[in-house]
A and B are shown apart, each in its own frame.
Chain A
Amino acid sequence: MNGATLSTLRPDLALIAGHVRPGARVLDIGCGDGTLLAALEAEPGCDARGLEIDPANVAHCVARGLSVIQGDADTDLGYYPDNSFDYAILSQTLQTTRRPDLALGELLRIAAHGFVSFPNFAHWRVRASLAFGGRMPVTKLLPERWYDTPNIHHLTIDDFRALVKEQGWSIEGEWFLNRGRPTRPANANLFAEHAVFLLRR
């Protein structure tokens, strides 16, 4: 398998892969070209499956020998039985769903643990861009313009924490990234470009 190793993975994916229990059953929702799936199958030896909306990506994954279903996180998670996985992963996908709260609920119904990674819309550079430029921010993590972005529900780290609290879920782990490197949790809502949370139902 031409899978990426932990060291060559995108930083948020490496974080997730590094904290998944070896041999676990994992569902990667919005698995893209299967980079994380391949890494999970190769190193922690997981039973890793994927859900992906783009047919070209799915074909690519299947050609790599991965188990991936073409489907939509907004409509197709309901077909998975309760507790069918140990972990479900939403990496850079939450902000593209029509109802992120429902998607998260499904995530934690299908699996006992959920990894969620997302770009933080309250990072100082995003705030500055909006405050001083007066335009919707276009950054490295959010490269699309307002009219062609798949990110229809921008959120901040504090927004996410509030939703988790409101729903009664618990946070088992949290990691923050700035320019691809770990950054401290203090004032993460201002200084982290990217957050990774591990939730438990």
Chain B
Amino acid sequence: MDAPAQPDDSRFGLNRRITLPQPLMLDGGTSLDNVEIAYETYGTLNAERSNAVLVCHATSGDQFVASQHPITGKPGWWSRSVGPGKPIDTDRHFVVCANVLGSCMGSTGPASLASDGQPYALRFPVITIRDMVRAQIALLDLLGIERLHAVVGGSMGGMQALSLAAHWPGRVDRVMVIAATAAMPAQNIAFQEVGRQAIMADPNWQGGNYYGTGTAPDSGLAVARMAAHITYLSEESMHEKFGRRLQDRASKTFGFDADFQVESYLRHQGASFTGRFDANSYLYITKAMSYFDLAEDHGGRLAEVFAGTKSRFCLVSFDSDWLYPTRESRKIAHALNAAGAPVSFVELSAPYGHDSFLLDVPELDRVIAGFVG
């Protein structure tokens, strides 16, 4: 459908944007017009278009997987795994990473302008993980990628990888799912609801219509991020990192200042998050995750979801991850086994909790490199 990829093709490279030519149909029954997708590509698409790897980001992630973040100035969120000579080797693979639908780093979301020129705010339709993947597939269509060599994702990225494999089974050869689940457990929905309520309880939220008012629900979003951040760590890593140590002071202040290092750290995490993330996007994205249940249309029988799949799968969990514990990955592995799919599953030992997939776990590097190939 397209001419071979050219190095000067404006569709490829860092910091790209594309508008979908067709309305995006959504699980909720509505559709979205003029959806914009912000994305980056790394490496070169080969003539056969057979070396594309889609990397899907997590809740608060973005398309800057291996390039400097434009707001924080930090290296890409997975630059330890994606790049020349890295486990996902951009010397050999053509890597695509797109900001998910509903987010706020350039792809269409609640902060985007609707056809009336005003931000959608809560007029933005509630979306699902499958809707996010629909947008990714539409992007792949525009890039001329019929079939992915691999899709790789951790956490919410892993849910997208599963959804892609389940609903677009002909479009991917290898599916790598790290620290994820096939159905959001109640405890995770509960934590996400705390985050959403914190945002909506902030008077600056204004029913979601805070755009252009000069204020935003920063306090609520910061509390949401603080609560979520706790779930990304392990008790052990928190104890190691902070213990009961005090922050820049010799003794307790007998006040509500951040006496403890852990308090100070969480406040910093919350405050810095508000500088780069939209509160309404946080509501929509966490709701999409809460809704996620891959086997819902199959009476809970996950094996049926993957019946006849031709993809190879690799599932990884971490022993210290209590948010997406090993049993969630194991359930998927057993279902894929029952479906006759080639599947690998390993629980790796790492101390950092759910965040292990983003951190220094050499064994994860080897597993990714071996599986993605």
Q: For the complex, what is the distance from the CA of A78 to the CA of B338, rounded to whole Å? A: 10
User: Are A55 and B347 within 8 A (Cβ)?
Assistant: yes
Task: Let me know if B342 and A67 touch, CB within 8 A.
Answer: yes
Chain B 45-56: CB-based contact to A (< 8 A → 1; otherwise 0): 000000000000
A69–B370 CB distance below 8 A = no
A69 contacts B345, CB within 8 Å? yes
A47 and B371 within 8 A (CB): no
Report whether B367 and A69 are in contact in the complex, using a CB–CB cutoff of 8 Å: no
B333 touching A59 by the CB < 8 A rule?
no
By the criterion CB–CB under 8 Å, are A70 and B337 in contact? no
Q: Which residue of A lies closest to B313 (CB)?
A: A67
Contact (Cβ within 8 A) B340 A84: yes
Q: Are A59 and B343 in contact (CB under 8 A)?
A: no
Residues of B within 8 A of A (CB-CB), count? 23
- Whether B338 contacts A69 by the Cβ 8 Å rule is no
Could you tell me if B334 and A79 are in contact, using CB atoms closer than 8 angstroms?
A: yes
Size class of the A contact interface (CB-based, 8 Å): 20 to 34
Instruction: Judge if B344 is at the interface, Cβ distance under 8 Å.
Output: yes
Partner of B337 from A56, A65, A66, A80 at Cβ < 8 Å: A80
Note all chain B residues with C-beta closer than 8 A to A196: none
Cα distance A64–B370 in the bound complex, in angstroms: 6
For the complex formed, measure the closest distance between the CB of A99 and the CB atoms of chain B, giving whole angstroms: 20
Query: Do A62 and B367 have beta carbons less than 8 Å apart?
Result: yes
Task: Judge whether A62 and B347 touch: CB under 8 Å.
Answer: no
- A25 CA to B266 CA, complexed, in Å: 51
- Residues of A near B312 (CB, < 8 A) are 67
Most central of A47, A55, A63, A64 by chain B CB within 10 Å = A63
A–B complex contacts, Cβ < 8 Å, 23 sampled: A47-B342, A49-B343, A55-B348, A55-B349, A58-B344, A58-B346, A59-B346, A59-B348, A59-B367, A60-B366, A62-B314, A62-B346, A63-B369, A67-B342, A68-B344, A68-B345, A69-B343, A70-B347, A71-B345, A79-B337, A81-B338, A84-B337, A84-B340
Q: List chain B positions with a Cβ less than 8 A from chain A.
A: 312, 314, 330, 333-334, 337-338, 340, 342-349, 363, 366-367, 369-371, 373
